[in-house]
Amino acid sequence: MTPQTDAERSERLHGLYTGAVADILDELEPTPYRNQCLPHAIRPVLPAMKVAGPVFTIRARLRHYNDGVDPRYKQMDMLDAIFPHSIIVIEPGDDDVASHWGELMSNVALKQGATGAVIHGGLRDAAQIIDLGFPVFTKYFTPATAAYRSQITEFGVPLLIGGVKVEPRDFILGDIDGVVVIPGAVVDEVIEKAESVRDREHKVRDLLREGGNIRELFEKYGVF
């Protein structure tokens, strides 16, 4: 059955794994998508953390001068714009020093209905975020605040992260293997095909444990 809502899409994506989804994107016809995996330096704070849902994109840049405006007000505007079931995706440009996400932002995002965050940058308050149960993927950890180092410039805009395009209303799936971006135009097709792969892989796994031959099973089920 084709998903009808973002909530349903997110739930069904959460039941999949990145390998199956990446394979489907690689093989999609008539147009394959073969550059959809975000940089492998982006890792879950805890191995069991998983994110799945439509993206809410944020662009930040180095703060080169003080214009007298506290950049945290722009952060508050961004937080107000978060929509239910979304995965926050942050691209901070050349800043590899500051933390771009923390505990209080996680609390507000959770209240707004977000279900996780993917940061191509830094994180702080990791222990509190773990206690909160908010899944976050990040490149690095640092206690250095972004307030004096980085500022949000835009949100709800297209991003380019490690050569991967991330468009508003694309979908994200992230697990211990990494993070894959699913274009919104094909997300329903990808979900259905990946679910079929997952179910066939479960069948093959069970048959292998019963002594089945991998070559024969591959010929029958088409997964390996």
pLDDT by residue for the chain (224 residues), tens only, comes to: 777 899 999 999 999 999 999 999 999 999 999 999 999 999 999 999 999 999 999 999 987 656 666 777 888 899 999 999 999 999 999 999 999 999 999 999 999 999 999 999 999 999 999 999 999 999 999 999 988 888 899 999 999 999 999 999 999 999 999 999 999 999 999 999 999 888 888 877 888 898 888 888 778 877 77
Q: What is the rounded distance in angstroms from the CA atom of residue 224 to the CA atom of residue 153?
A: 44
In the chain the domains, ranked by start, together with CATH numbers, are 6-184 (3.50.30.40)
Q: Helices marked H in 69-137 — which ranges?
A: 72-81, 103-112, 126-132
Rounded to the nearest 10°, the torsion over CA 194, 173, 178, 55 is 150
Structure tokens at 141: 């950890």
Predicted confidence at residue 173, as pLDDT, reads 98
What is the pTM (predicted TM-score) of this model? 0.90
Q: By the 8 A CB rule, do 138 and 123 touch? A: yes
Bridge-based pairing of strands 99-101 and 150-155 is unpaired
Rg (CA), the chain: 19
Q: How far apart are CA 89 and CA 8, in angstroms?
A: 20
pLDDT at position 64, please? 65
Q: Are 64 and 85 in contact (CB under 8 A)?
A: no
State pLDDT tens for residues 108-151: 999 999 999 999 999 999 999 999 999 999 999 999 998 888 88
